[in-house]
Structure 1
Amino acid sequence: MLRTLRALGLAVVLAAGMTVATAPSAGADSLTPVGGGSGIIFRLSPTPEAPQSYYICTLTAVGRDATGNLVGLTNAHCFIDDKGNKLVGEKVYLDSSPAGTAAAPAPIPDSRPDLKTGSIGTVTHVSTPNNLLNTGPKGLDYAVIDLDESRVAPTTTVGSVTITSVGAPPANGTRMCEQDHRTGLTCGIKLGTNGIWFNHLISTDGGDSGAPVVNGQTLVGNAFGAQHSSPILSIIDEMNANGGVGAGFHLAS
């Protein structure tokens, strides 16, 4: 198996002969819950039904915009290809593999699209990525996903984290936590700021990109790797300035 790590959004190429197992999901009379911390899978090649390669990341939050659209947020770099193209229009699926823990991360090869639920939404905006480790322009590294309400419903709780509000990062030295699909709940203190981002001692692993960083039940940022995050209030301000899907974002209950 070949694995390529790109700022903790993980690309996976499957060995020949591996197939997708159809995952259990919500019945026809109910919707599949999604929220900050839900695992997502996308860029499934050649098809979602028989992928030989894919990418995995984690949702930051689910909310509504000013026009009532149900939207999800994650990292921008998840949807930028090796040539720098922003993959607006990409279809997104839930990762049907069970979430892991810090002691026992969810195995990357187990990631599969939830085909019973089907595509949960479409990417409508990809911001400037963080470019923390190169000389490119520095961005807030977020992507907006227009979610399909005929398939999914918002939840405030995923794993060990419940998100009820958004706010600014806390004072340096404050303990914060992150809910990842791969590594579950991880925690560490806020260290300080680095330009437009804040940094912390919260560990992340491949596929955890986009995970919500919380202070109690307050969402304060999105994790993008190298123990950095973008402030959620800065992301909301930029979405409002851009207009379109995501503008006027507020948490869905």
Structure 2
Amino acid sequence: MLRALGLAVLLAATTIAAAPSASAVTRTAVGGGTGIIFRLKPTPETPTSYYICTLTAVGRDSAGNLVGLTNAHCFIDEQGNKLVGERVYRDTSPAGTAFSPAPIADSRPDLETGAIGTVTYVSTPNNLLNSGPKGLDYAVIKLDESRVAPTSTVGQVTITSIGAPPANGTRMCKEGHRTGLTCGKKLGTNGIWFTHLIWTDGGDSGSPVVSGQTLVGNAWGAQHSSPILSIIDAMNTQGGVGAGFHLAT
């Protein structure tokens, strides 16, 4: 599978202060474009390795759960295991730009807020560069509403609606934690995905791709994205957390 944008990091040992008591936790804004960090080893407080990606969107399902979406390949380990149950944190490092990407070594979990959610479903990854089954490459995260609140604006992107990818040649943009806002024209389609000239880098996996303020897809690298309407259809068919997904208000 293509893993270039869901980035694994190994670090020298670093000490991070422990999280405060639950009574001190405040709700943190998260939305499409928020950086996330997970697979923190050996512990979230003293990680020597971790992975980073970006949320595609935050919404609610038909059961009222607050739900975050990102890429599936973020939560598939080296043996191909899908990491359902993985706890996810917000990345506290400032978002970067295309000319000054966020330093990978600066990524750290938001221990004050604590884990913002748990992975409940991992789809088939894209497998663009191998012979594996081709998937929409999305993951579903059930968010902890006692810790986070949805926001429609992250960085320079505001998401107010969901729709289909625009016509070829239309300018679209993505907001990723690693490289911030980058834009480029839609090129066409490649099987179940659409293609474009939007720049992405490691850590941008899952970035929302928008046309104006309309969310049209999730970015996963090699100038490819999966249509958000196809992802929503797949979640509805799958059932459970994420089914009936719509933007949070």
Common fold: TM-score over 0.5: yes
| Equivalent position of 2:8 in the other structure | 11
What CA deviation, in whole Å up to 9, does each residue of 1:27-85 have, x standing for no partner?
A: 94741000000000000000000000000000000000000000000000000000000
Is contact 1:177–1:187 with CA below 8 Å preserved after alignment?
Answer: yes
Aligned-partner residue type, residue 7 of structure 2: L
Aligned-partner residue type, residue 81 of structure 2: N
Is contact 2:25–2:147 with CA below 8 Å preserved after alignment?
Answer: no
Q: CA RMSD in A?
A: 1.6
2:98 is the alignment partner of 1:107: no
| Equivalent position of 1:221 in the other structure | 217
Q: Give the 3-state SS of the residue equivalent to 1:63 in structure 2.
A: strand
What CA distance in whole angstroms lies between the structure 2 residues aligned with 1:134 and 1:218?
31
| Equivalent position of 1:204 in the other structure | 200
What CA distance in whole angstroms lies between the structure 2 residues aligned with 1:61 and 1:23?
26
What CA distance in whole angstroms lies between the structure 1 residues aligned with 2:18 and 2:65?
28
Is contact 2:26–2:113 with CA below 8 Å preserved after alignment?
Answer: no
Give the aligned length.
Answer: 246
Match of 1:176 among 172, 176, 180: 172
Is contact 1:186–1:203 with CA below 8 Å preserved after alignment?
Answer: yes
What CA distance in whole angstroms lies between the structure 1 residues aligned with 2:155 and 2:24?
24
What CA distance in whole angstroms lies between the structure 2 residues aligned with 1:182 and 1:145?
20
| Equivalent position of 1:90 in the other structure | 86
| Equivalent position of 2:16 in the other structure | 20
What CA distance in whole angstroms lies between the structure 1 residues aligned with 2:206 and 2:166?
19
| Equivalent position of 1:79 in the other structure | 75
Is contact 1:8–1:205 with CA below 8 Å preserved after alignment?
Answer: yes
2:109 is the alignment partner of 1:123: no
Is contact 1:71–1:145 with CA below 8 Å preserved after alignment?
Answer: yes
Is contact 1:7–1:77 with CA below 8 Å preserved after alignment?
Answer: no
What CA deviation, in whole Å up to 9, does each residue of 1:202-235 have, x standing for no partner?
A: 0100000000000000000000001100000000
What CA distance in whole angstroms lies between the structure 2 residues aligned with 1:163 and 1:23?
31
What CA distance in whole angstroms lies between the structure 2 residues aligned with 1:46 and 1:83?
19
2:43 is the alignment partner of 1:47: yes
How far residue 102 of structure 1 moved from its aligned partner, in angstroms, is 1.3
What CA distance in whole angstroms lies between the structure 2 residues aligned with 1:169 and 1:19?
44
TM-score (norm 1): 0.94
Is contact 1:58–1:210 with CA below 8 Å preserved after alignment?
Answer: yes
Is contact 1:22–1:114 with CA below 8 Å preserved after alignment?
Answer: no
Percentage of pairs with the same residue: 82
Is contact 2:54–2:205 with CA below 8 Å preserved after alignment?
Answer: yes
> What residue ranges of structure 2 are gaps of 5+ in the alignment?
none
What CA distance in whole angstroms lies between the structure 2 residues aligned with 1:47 and 1:30?
22
TM alignment of 1:236-251, pairs within 5 A? 236-251=232-247
Aligned-partner residue type, residue 183 of structure 1: T
TM alignment of 1:132-151, pairs within 5 A? 132-151=128-147
Aligned-partner residue type, residue 231 of structure 1: P
Q: Give the 3-state SS of the residue equivalent to 1:6 in structure 2.
A: coil
Q: Give the 3-state SS of the residue equivalent to 2:233 in structure 1.
A: helix
Aligned-partner residue type, residue 123 of structure 2: S
What CA distance in whole angstroms lies between the structure 1 residues aligned with 2:17 and 2:178?
19
Is contact 1:23–1:96 with CA below 8 Å preserved after alignment?
Answer: no
What CA distance in whole angstroms lies between the structure 2 residues aligned with 1:22 and 1:78?
25
Q: Give the 3-state SS of the residue equivalent to 1:105 in structure 2.
A: coil
